[in-house]
């Protein structure tokens, strides 16, 4: 077993941080999708509120996909399927709504 160098320790720390970030962003995506689904189940009537929830879910999806991609994980379609991302959220992924 070779001794750990400073570089090995740094690489390990970077991988730990990437894994932590992917996990956090995955939880944020799940929460955003759950909020949208809950709104739809309640039969919410506010188009503005729903649009805001769709935008939030699309932004969370974008963050998650970009972080995964930067970490070397590809196959975005699998994420879209696993999280059951609605088509309207997929379509807005990466789009920024003017303020």
User: What is the structure's pLDDT at 2?
Assistant: 66
pTM of the model: 0.86
In a domain, 30, yes or no: yes
pLDDT means per 10 residues, the chain with 99 residues, are 80 92 97 97 89 96 95 91 96 80
In a domain, 41, yes or no: yes
In a domain, 24, yes or no: yes
In a domain, 72, yes or no: yes
* CA gap 68, 2 in Å, rounded: 30
Domain count, the chain: 1
In a domain, 99, yes or no: no
In a domain, 53, yes or no: yes
User: What is the structure's pLDDT at 3?
Assistant: 64
In a domain, 83, yes or no: yes
In a domain, 98, yes or no: no
DSSP character at residue 79 = H
DSSP-derived secondary structure for 17-49: HHHHHHHHHHHHHHHHHHHHHHHHHHT---HHH
- Identify the domain containing residue 35 by its residue range: 7-92
């Amino acid at each position: 077993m070779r001794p750990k160098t400073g570089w090995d320790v740094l690489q390990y720390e970077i991988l730990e941080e990437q894994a932590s970030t992917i996990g956090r962003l995955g939880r944020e995506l799940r929460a955003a999708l759950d909020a949208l689904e809950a709104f739809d189940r309640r039969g919410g009537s506010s188009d503005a509120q729903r649009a805001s929830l769709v935008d939030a879910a699309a932004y969370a999806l974008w963050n998650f996909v970009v972080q995964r991609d930067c970490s070397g994980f590809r196959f975005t379609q699998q994420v879209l399927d696993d999280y059951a991302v609605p088509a309207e959220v997929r379509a807005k992924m990466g789009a920024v709504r003017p303020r």
